[in-house]
Structure 1
Amino acid sequence: MPTLAANPKPNFLPPTDQPNHGLDLPPHMQRKPSHDPNPNPTPATNSNFDASPEAVLPATPPPSLLYLSFNQDHSCFAAGTDHGFWIYNCDPFREIFRRDFDHRGGGIGVVEMLYRCFILALVGGGPNPQYPPNKVMIWDDNQNRCIGEVSFSSEVRSVRLRRDRIVVVLEHKIFVYNFADLKLLHQIETIANPKGLCAVSQGAGSLVLVCPGLQKGQVRIEHYASKRTKFNLAHDSRIACFALSQDGQLLATASTKGTLVRVYNTVDGSLLQEVRRGSR
């Protein structure tokens, strides 16, 4: 059952037409000490440390990467590790924030940003997960705590965020929630989907959602504004990946065979373009 500790609707940063200026996050998303004893940012170096040859630093293994995803406008990407999560700016490339949960293991198997604001969706992962792998935690970094959660009977494979929706992908099912109150709006059955394949439009218009269908090589397209569902048999082999345009009008698909990329019109399902591997 979903629970909500506070309204998760965030205050968004104003858009910009100049992504090369770095688009810094708000101050609370920049690296800083935390007053919360639970999630601990990386501590600063002790200037009084004894640098004599006898002093030996304990060996700290590098973090293992568990997950990687871009935000909705591709200006940032987030990395989930076995100790927490890091956020990077793309242009110019630099680390702009990290949060480590090392005292309890802290593995984050899924981390999804909501544009450049302080709201993220987290799912535990790795050998020592920070949260149960069957829960989606809505993390508010302004408050340094989770403000909502949604639990399921099986592991969460992926999460997709919009300003108005949260989409949670399990291996055989997809759930669509309203962001403001975590009210369940829609459930979708899919073929086995261990990769958590799902794409949602990010334009100002209504939601378009794409996911695997109920048979091999099939994609399902949901147009929520017109309440229309379309099934496309995109490939003979299983779907390996797909990508949706920001406005939800175009869909590119590829199969496990890996020889073709096909581009479809999502409104009528027509094939617009086919690109074959090795062709010029």
Structure 2
Amino acid sequence: MEAAEGPGAGRGEHEPGSRFGCASFNQDSTSLALGTRTGYKLFSLTMAEKVDCIHESETPDVYIVERLFSSSLVVVVSATMPQRMNIYHFKKGTEICNYNYPSDILAIKLNRTRLVVCLEDSIYIHNIKDMKLLKTLLNTPPNPSGLCALSISHSNSYLAYPGSATIGEIIVYDANSLNPVTMIPAHDSPLAALAFNVSATKLASASERGTVIRVFSVPEGQRLFEFRRGMKRYVNISSLSFSPDCQFLCASSNTETVHIFKLEQLGPSGEDQADTWTAYVGKMFSAASNYLPTQVAGMMCQDRAFATVHLLSSGQRNVCTLVTIQKLPRLLVATADGQLFIYDVDQLEGGECKLAHKYRVFGVNDDKDEGAEPAGSGVMSPVQSTPSYAETAALPASGPVTATLTGYSEDSGAKKGEVIPEHEFAAGPVCLDDENEFPPINSCCGGTEGGRGRRW
């Protein structure tokens, strides 16, 4: 699962010269991609006891690297050419194509049908099979962090991005039909993180304050859950990720704590509600919330973390994901200093998660200034008088938008303003939707071989 905001969600993580440019899990969290000044590497995550490096490249200053599921397609952006997106078939060692854009690329999201490129003030939606530009969303609210989320569902290919630069409005856009779906007034403060669940029926969000995490239904936009990460201090939430079965949600930040929340209703929910004092109090709070002011009712419905992880250090950029590896539920955390932590999660009791394995996936040879261990060592809201952009964008589309980016061609791009033509891949025919390249659509549920009662 990709982290909210995509691994590498903050603008600071994309700045040339940053120590580690990016860290991202692929869409089903079966591999990890890491980039630095000296190149990028892809790692297999199918076994907890062993993390294999399956590919490495010496492309300098990589600050975005995204792999499409378990396929050979990888998308790379380097700080040496921050306006160019390069798409490679890494197993063949060939470039499929490249595109140039009017300004720096801040984020790239992939699923089986779409490739989305996010700039600070525009979003480009491509058909991933032939890279034809399908839609350009121009003049989006300033989005200097490149925050956006793309669902991995084949049938519900939703894109979420900020609808305002001053408050936490979310635009949900259908990347298949190329039409707005809804606008969600999620937070009073600007957004900091977004994430869809696997089936794209839920959307999690956090604001720049980082104290409250909310979950909404998609496409309705109804608030389903509200979790309080903390009250004493504001934090920068760097990633959100649902478990494959959507029973849990994890959140990591610039603090030393990773939180795991359990998505269960505290109110009257039928015969499955446990007959306990906690359940009774939950029912009372739910009933009372109908008669209390919204702010008070919200506070009463906010749940604390079900499980937590305390990292060895704080202040490091990181990305987290919940997966099933070898039939066991795991929390994976990749940090900006080149480490990968794998924790065991008790789905019944919660509490403090146990560190199972720790890996140094980037070593001294990858960044000599770090003094790191060799790779593999270690147990590796303002009131608006006029309609906001979000409210306007949520209305039916008035017509197609003409593409204005500098497009792909054999000589590194067409002139700005030309519509990108359909083309064959530069590296020759590449069957990107072959069953050997993609996991079957009906098995895209994250992790590996979940056992009954132990699968996320």
2:37 maps to 1:82: yes
1:243-270 CA-partner distances (Å, limit 9, x unpaired)? 1111111001000111111100121111
Give the counterpart letter for 2:71 in structure 1: C
Percentage of identical aligned residues: 30
1:32-81 CA-partner distances (Å, limit 9, x unpaired)? xxxxxxxxxxxxxxxxxxxxxxxxxxxxxxx9421000101011110011
Alignment map for 1:220-231 (pairs within 5 Å)? 220-224=171-175, 227-231=179-183
1:258 aligned partner = 210
What is the CA-CA distance between 1:195 and the residue it aligns to?
1.9
1:54 aligned partner = none
RMSD: 1.9
2:189 maps to 1:237: yes
Give the counterpart letter for 1:253 in structure 2: S
Structure 2 counterpart SS, 1:229 = strand
Give the counterpart letter for 2:25 in structure 1: F
2:39 maps to 1:118: no
1:66 aligned partner = 21
2:156, 2:200 within 8 Å by CA — same for their partners in 1? no
Residue 117 to residue 225, structure 1, CA distance change in 2 (3 Å): closer
Residue 190 to residue 95, structure 1, CA distance change in 2 (3 Å): farther
Q: Distance in 2 between matches of 1:203 and 1:229?
A: 16
2:106 maps to 1:157: yes
Q: Distance in 1 between matches of 2:205 and 2:190?
A: 11
1:118, 1:140 within 8 Å by CA — same for their partners in 2? yes
2:33, 2:42 within 8 Å by CA — same for their partners in 1? yes
- What 5-or-longer segments of structure 2 have no aligned partner? 1-17, 231-302, 305-456
Give the counterpart letter for 2:21 in structure 1: L
- Residue 275 of structure 1, aligned match among 227, 231, 247: 227
What is the CA-CA distance between 1:225 and the residue it aligns to?
5.3
1:86, 1:95 within 8 Å by CA — same for their partners in 2? no
2:198 aligned partner = 246
What is the CA-CA distance between 1:224 and the residue it aligns to?
4.4
2:115 maps to 1:166: yes
Moved >3 Å (runs of 4+): 224-228
What is the CA-CA distance between 1:228 and the residue it aligns to?
4.1
Give the counterpart letter for 1:255 in structure 2: S
2:51 maps to 1:99: no
Q: Distance in 1 between matches of 2:211 and 2:156?
A: 33
1:198, 1:212 within 8 Å by CA — same for their partners in 2? yes
Q: Distance in 2 between matches of 1:277 and 1:77?
A: 26
1:163-207 CA-partner distances (Å, limit 9, x unpaired)? 221110111111000112221111224222222111111123131
Give the counterpart letter for 1:277 in structure 2: R
2:168 maps to 1:217: yes
2:125, 2:175 within 8 Å by CA — same for their partners in 1? no
* Most deviating of 267-276 and 93-102: 93-102
Structure 2 counterpart SS, 1:97 = strand
Q: Distance in 2 between matches of 1:174 and 1:134?
A: 13
Q: Is the strand fraction higher in 1 or 2?
A: 1
Give the counterpart letter for 2:30 in structure 1: S
Query: What's the TM-score, normalizing by structure 1?
Result: 0.70
- Structure number with greater CO (CA < 8 Å, separation at least 6) is 2
Q: Distance in 2 between matches of 1:223 and 1:137?
A: 25
1:177 aligned partner = 126
1:190, 1:211 within 8 Å by CA — same for their partners in 2? no
1:137, 1:149 within 8 Å by CA — same for their partners in 2? yes
2:151 aligned partner = 201
2:70 maps to 1:147: no
Structure 1 counterpart SS, 2:147 = coil
2:68, 2:74 within 8 Å by CA — same for their partners in 1? yes
Q: Distance in 2 between matches of 1:154 and 1:224?
A: 22
Give the counterpart letter for 2:162 in structure 1: P
2:377 aligned partner = none
Give the counterpart letter for 2:148 in structure 1: C
